[in-house]
Amino acid sequence: MTFTMTVIAAIFGIATETWHLFEEAAPYLFLGFGVAALLDMVVPEDKIVTHLGASAGKFKSVLKASLVGVPIPLCSCGVIPAAISLKKKGASNGAILSFLISTPETGTDSIAITYALLDPIMTVFRPLAAFVTALGAGIANNLLIRDEKTSALTNLITPSTLPNTLTCDTSCNCCIEEHDSESGNIQKITGAIRYAYVELLGDIVRWLIVGFVLAGIISYMIPEELIRTYLGGGAFSMFLMLLIGFPLYICATASTPLAAALLAKGMSPGTAFVFLLAGPATNTATITVVTRFLGKKVAAVYLIMIAVFALLFGHLLDFIYFKLGIDARFIVGNASDILPDYVKTFFAIVLTLLITYSLYKRRKGNSCGN
């Protein structure tokens, strides 16, 4: 009986922590998806391809790819079809690499949830680091490695040649509707809203749930001493988080509640930031695609540059917090205190309904491939 009561108490405690984190993030997540809807409405995908394709210079396209990728809310799975489109349009490998890094590392939704669950320093630092990492990787690739001179590689890139983990299986953003073909402002607005709050939310919904539940488990069950001992800062902590983040599939938005829970338990800001940069940008499937279609040398530049910049920015962030005399444990989530509790609860309920609807739509098979 005691064991049963302990299990029930643990489940209740984890659920309470998970819901609390979700409430804190909900208004900002809702805002982030709203900005994504606006971007989808005013920045068509074909315009992005035009600016990063063959007509743009190698270094100019890298700069543009790094900038363009920052606000676009695509996960490391959903960014692959867009990157392939760029390759087929003649974009340089450097531009593609920059796009593959800056896009999944951050986005309007993850920036919003970073402000809600972390703090303003992280909120500014995250997109800045994503941009610099992407720019550095693209430039390094263009300086060190020549692009393929033949078009054979581009001709080989078709949806059928992609690994199963990245084909259109209702978990990737590969069936975005052509909203530009819709006539009238009302259709454009409703199409953009549907894209953001149904399709985009559906793309990350499973990992979003996993992220919040894991954050709830960490908040309730993991002792602070354990986190402070092994992840309290320094080169070893950051390298450990790098090894964890590289093969892991997790989107930028879902990684944020995990980082918040670990920070609250004593993880250093820099160590958390290494995870926030490396986790969303890489996973085994993306690494496989980069290796297969862009080559082993490009894949090596991709991984090395992410690792180098993640560690550099991690140490820099720890230094900033130390110089400012800020203990991250006591400021995590403080930014969201400006909103009344009833507003947080309202948006949490609205998002819960939208998540339920997205899961229902995917279960019914009304998205990709049908």
Instruction: Note the pLDDT of residue 72.
Output: 83
Taking the C-alpha atoms of residue 263 and residue 304, their distance in angstroms, rounded to an integer, is: 26
Q: What is the residue-wise DSSP string for 66-93?
A: HHHHTT----TTTHHHHHHHHHHTT--H
* Amino acid at position 138, single letter: G
State mean pLDDT over 94-121.
89
Please give the C-alpha separations between residue 164 and each of 88, 103, 228, 285, in angstroms, as whole numbers: 20, 21, 39, 9
DSSP 55: T
Instruction: Note the pLDDT of residue 126.
Output: 94
What is the total residue count of the chain?
370
Instruction: Note the pLDDT of residue 159.
Output: 43
Q: Which residue has the higher pLDDT, 240 or 51?
A: 240
Is the per-residue pLDDT at 315 higher than 90?
A: yes
Q: Which residue has the higher pLDDT, 94 or 153?
A: 94
State mean pLDDT over 178-184.
50
